Structure 1
Amino acid sequence: MMKKILVPTDFSIQAENALKVAAQIARNNNSEIHLLHILEIPSQMNDAITGATPIPEVVFFIQKAKETMRFIKEKSFLKDLTVIDSIKIEKASQAIISYSKENNIDLILMGSNGTSGIEEIILGSNTEKVVRLSNAPVLIIKEEITEFNPKNIVFASDFSEEIKKSFGKLLDLVYAFNAHLHLVTICTPNSFKTTALTKKIVQEFISNFDIKNYSTHIYNDTNVEKGIINFSNHINADLISLCTHGRTGLSHFFTGSISEDLANHASKPLIVYKI
């Protein structure tokens, strides 16, 4: 269950959008929110922290961060919720991963800037590094969501044996919001399977789970990422979910140039589970 939710914050509007969604999930699940700010201080300053007399700039940065955290915790949308705040001095992605492990975090929520589309999320950003390394699922929020209540969740997969454990974690989210789960296989010219074989694979996969509110789909497109996006648009999905190997992040889904379709679609929330 989602009892501990981690929201890294750089005090930006994107981070606040993620925190607002975390607050909504926390209310539904009686969860506690862990609000984490990371100070990425230059190494010469970092060395000074452990010294007997920390340099004034470092003390100033820490003090200002504490003041901002106090201000955030007083926001109305966090009223009556348990919010634990922390400040770490470390590289951002490393700090998020280490904090998540140390505190047994169940879900990480990250805000991301929508200006450069999904390319900014997937490739080379702190978000991508967290997705690649995190054992906890990572929910990426691209814009403000006044009511996070996903009723149509897409799960795009090849439904192989290795994703069963990660799929079980996704079901916690599905049940929490009483959502309809759309199980979709994307068929492309490079990964063609007959309809009969595809249906057999999916049915064998879901026979291991007690799912009632779901439907299965086969969607044909020129590549996997376009298929996920176009199918999600077609059913008006509220949330896209994927499983990925930690060793490659999402690079097996998003290789080469990122299509315009993906960039335009970047507003939908995306949750990623590591296999």
Structure 2
Amino acid sequence: MESITTSASPIKKIAVPIDFSPKCENAVKTAVQMALRHRAKIFLVHVVNPYFITDRAGRQIIGGESISKDIDAAIRRLEGLRDLLSERHPNLKIETIVQTGLVTDTPNDIVVSHHIDLAVIGTSGHQKLKQALLGSYSYTMLTSLNCSVMLVPEEFKTNSFRHILFPVRTLNHLRTKLRLAIAIANRNDGIINLSGIGNSNNFPKLKREFLLLKRSLRNRKQRFQSELVLTDDNAETISKLSNEKSCDIVMLNYEDEMKWKSLFAENFFKKIINNTESALLFIKPKNTVTIEPATYSGYDLTMPIPG
């Protein structure tokens, strides 16, 4: 395995999409603590939907004026949140962004244009069956954003990540994942729980990579525990281990399983989201993406905050 530099944190810019619902409060708290530990900058992001309603004659009856009011209200609320956080944490670097667009597309435009390393998104915890079948906001963000994504349940009350679950279930991007796990562990005085998880078909290859990771952690004198688990259901096993070990965060490769089941609750991502009580960090290596000019008309406001 290649050498890994642990001095500099790979987390330098953190985005928090905010819809002003209660579930966002915990995401903001978690993102703030991470930013302070990693000396990262926070971007508070709100997207205003540019909706228009016309009557039967084609005359616009709701649109520009309502959107303008929504934008002004969002600006005031984000500025208030920024000022409150700055007062509590004078060294915290914060920028607020208010844009119009689709909530499924615009956050990713911001992620790419601002070179975001991590998006922290609040969830309502255990999803209802209807949400699991049709897809929730957090699931949409997870699958659409071009950066690593952390999902933070509304009831998650831990301010640090002392117990880190590192499942080895796929072999892709393990070096990136290990570097991030070490950075988080070092900044939280944490311990890494390395768990090789697989079935009889992939177990030999998985075990080899698992042993290489153990050696790498041992050579770096990193605190860790390790175990190998043979299972036919990776999601169920990871959720069980996370809950049994009272883990604060689970680090997962961004690779779904049984993609043909993506419309149902049984796919890997949705099973993990539905059944795990800790924060979930999905590692997504960045790709080079070109943003096309916006095709809608309306407002596009970016508000940089100095410092």
Written as runs of structure 1 = structure 2, the 5 A alignment for 1:124-143 is: 124-143=135-154
Secondary structure of 1:42 counterpart: coil
Q: Which runs of 5+ in 2 are unaligned?
A: 1-8, 55-62, 286-307
Corresponding residue of 2:291: none
Corresponding residue of 2:299: none
1:13-65 residue CA offsets vs partner (Å, 9 max, x unmatched): 111110011111122222221000011222569xxxxxxxx831121111111
**In structure 2, do the counterparts of structure 1 residues 119 and 253 end up closer, same or farther at CA, with 3 Å as the change threshold?**
farther
| Contact 2:16–2:31, Cα closer than 8 Å, also in 1 | yes
Letter paired with 1:70 = E
Cα deviation for residue 70 of structure 1 reads: 2.0
| 1:203 pairs with 2:211 | yes
Secondary structure of 1:114 counterpart: coil
Tell which deviates more after alignment, 83-92 or 220-229.
220-229
**In structure 2, do the counterparts of structure 1 residues 263 and 28 end up closer, same or farther at CA, with 3 Å as the change threshold?**
closer
Corresponding residue of 2:290: none
Rounded to whole Å, the distance in 1 between the matches of 2:201 and 2:167 is 14
Corresponding residue of 1:225: 235
Corresponding residue of 2:79: 70
Which of 127, 130, 133 lines up with 1:116 in the alignment?
Answer: 127
Rounded to whole Å, the distance in 1 between the matches of 2:194 and 2:15 is 27
Which of 65, 85, 89 lines up with 1:56 in the alignment?
Answer: 65
Cα deviation for residue 135 of structure 1 reads: 3.7
Corresponding residue of 1:28: 37
Rounded to whole Å, the distance in 1 between the matches of 2:123 and 2:144 is 18
Tell which deviates more after alignment, 166-175 or 136-145.
166-175
| Contact 1:112–1:121, Cα closer than 8 Å, also in 2 | no
Corresponding residue of 1:100: 111
Rounded to whole Å, the distance in 2 between the matches of 1:120 and 1:153 is 28
Cα deviation for residue 151 of structure 1 reads: 1.2
Letter paired with 1:241 = M
Runs of 4+ in structure 1 displaced over 6 angstroms?
Answer: none
RMSD value, Cα: 3.3
Secondary structure of 2:203 counterpart: coil
Q: Which runs of 5+ in 1 are unaligned?
A: 46-53
| 1:10 pairs with 2:42 | no
Cα deviation for residue 228 of structure 1 reads: 0.4
Task: Give me the TM-score of the superposition, normalised by structure 1.
Answer: 0.80
Rounded to whole Å, the distance in 2 between the matches of 1:160 and 1:262 is 19
1:111-169 residue CA offsets vs partner (Å, 9 max, x unmatched): 01125269957973333333234342111110244442111111112352543234323
**In structure 2, do the counterparts of structure 1 residues 87 and 250 end up closer, same or farther at CA, with 3 Å as the change threshold?**
farther
Which of 30, 35, 39 lines up with 2:48 in the alignment?
Answer: 39
Which of 197, 201, 207 lines up with 1:186 in the alignment?
Answer: 197
Rounded to whole Å, the distance in 1 between the matches of 2:178 and 2:37 is 21
Rounded to whole Å, the distance in 2 between the matches of 1:122 and 1:71 is 36
| Contact 2:193–2:225, Cα closer than 8 Å, also in 1 | yes
Percent identity between matched residues is 18
| Contact 1:225–1:254, Cα closer than 8 Å, also in 2 | no
Rounded to whole Å, the distance in 2 between the matches of 1:263 and 1:273 is 15
Rounded to whole Å, the distance in 1 between the matches of 2:167 and 2:259 is 13
**In structure 2, do the counterparts of structure 1 residues 79 and 117 end up closer, same or farther at CA, with 3 Å as the change threshold?**
farther
Rounded to whole Å, the distance in 1 between the matches of 2:193 and 2:104 is 31
Secondary structure of 1:14 counterpart: helix
| 1:213 pairs with 2:223 | yes
Letter paired with 1:25 = M
